[in-house]
Amino acid sequence: DAGITQSPRHKVTETGTPVTLRCHQTENHRYMYWYRQDPGHGLRLIHYSYGVKDTDKGEVSDGYSVSRSKTEDFLLTLESATSSQTSVYFCATLGGEGQPQHFGDGTRLSIL
């Protein structure tokens, strides 16, 4: 939807390894978001970006970093993955205020 591609779609890795998730959009949307979705919590904001090289923390940012060097790409990095970061991760974009957010299809990440 809205030209959002998340990669990989599924990943299994071990505790302590670095992991990078990629979100790519083709709509030239200014705002991009990373959420995690866990049972009993709904969607929670990890980090977001309001432009190239402009990012800010969300409510569950510990253990995560992001980068946005181009409008179309927003990367989420787990420097040293922990089992508590096992989750489904969604990327979303927003063209501007007053518009709905568009979501990617999600990445299912399992950390053993």
Binding site for other proteins (CB under 8 A): 1, 31, 33, 40-45, 48, 50, 58, 88, 90, 94, 97-103, 105-106, 108
Provide the minimum distance between the beta carbon of 53 and other proteins in the complex, in angstroms, as a whole number.
17
Comparing CB distances to other proteins, the nearer of 38 and 79 is 38
φ/ψ of 94, rounded to 5, equals -145, 125
Comparing CB distances to other proteins, the nearer of 45 and 75 is 45
Distance CA 21, CA 9 (A): 9
- CA distances from residue 68 to 25, 30, 41, 44 in whole angstroms, order as listed: 12, 11, 27, 20
Provide the minimum distance between the beta carbon of 32 and other proteins in the complex, in angstroms, as a whole number.
10
- 49 strand-pairing partners: 32, 55
Comparing CB distances to other proteins, the nearer of 18 and 27 is 27
